[in-house]
Structure 1
Amino acid sequence: MANSPNDLTTLLNRQLALYADDIVADVEEAVKEVSQEGVDKLKARSPRFTGSYRKGWRVKKVKKKYVIHNKTDYQLTHLLEKGHAKVGGGRVAPKPHIALVEQELIEELQRRVIEAVDR
């Protein structure tokens, strides 16, 4: 039992810190899982020419952030997503695949963070 207001404050601060630590751990795990799901979705939805571009998607942890990138054919990501000019004139149509997956990942991560806070 708390004997004084200071004891109660200390106890309350300790419990809030434990709660915050649990939420941080749950959110970090959710970010890691959602990042890997994003890589899997990009591998499934990327345009297929030789297969190298499709197979090149990776997730990498940089400090405290997870970065999804194409390790093998990073030069093609913008060209395929947005389209580009042809050498003899005209344009190559865009094949949007990254933005769609990005939006799905944002929604999924938001859902998981809300779940973590509610628990």
Structure 2
Amino acid sequence: MANISIDQLAAEIAKGLAEYSQDVVEKIDISSARVGKAAVKQLKNTSPKDGGDYAKAWTMKTEKAIGQPDRRIIHVRAPHYRLTHLLEKGHAKVGGGRVEGKPHIGPAEEQVIKDFVSEVEEAIRRG
């Protein structure tokens, strides 16, 4: 049986944790990209389509991070971003009355959270 110092043991444990951590970060990046693409597709399908431009404007932007999972941002390109709250929640009409909201962002958000949490838990379990 070989004798190793506490410093060597600590270094080996740190090395193993760093490798595990990097594997998890890579799997989270893959999961976030997959879930994000699915969310954009869902939003394009479920968004109100009066003229179709609003629904087509959904996209995902990626902000790269070093040593951490990339950040994915799902949004509507300009100038359609101004419509999100009005279409989701409804709004008042000029001549009186209200236009009912058509929830499409909320359900997509709930699905993204559910899918992403599930995939991250699986990535952590598998290492």
Same fold (TM over 0.5): yes
The corresponding residue for 2:115 is: 108
* Structure 2 residues not aligned, in runs of 5+: 65-69
- Percent of aligned pairs with the same residue? 41
Divergent runs of 4+, >6 A: none
TM-score when normalising by structure 1: 0.93
The corresponding residue for 1:51 is: 52
SS at match of 2:81: coil
RMSD of Structure 2 on Structure 1 (CA): 1.4
| Matches of 1:26 and 1:85, distance apart in 2 | 45
1:71-113 deviations in Å (ceiling 9; x for gaps): 1511111110000000000100010000010000001000010
Range with bigger deviation, 54-63 or 22-31: 54-63
SS at match of 1:74: helix
* Structure 1 residues not aligned, in runs of 5+: none
Contact 1:2–1:8 at 8 Å: present in 2 too? no
Between the two proteins, the alignment pairs up a number of residues equal to 119
How far 1:48 moved relative to its partner? Answer: 1.3
TM-score when normalising by structure 2: 0.87
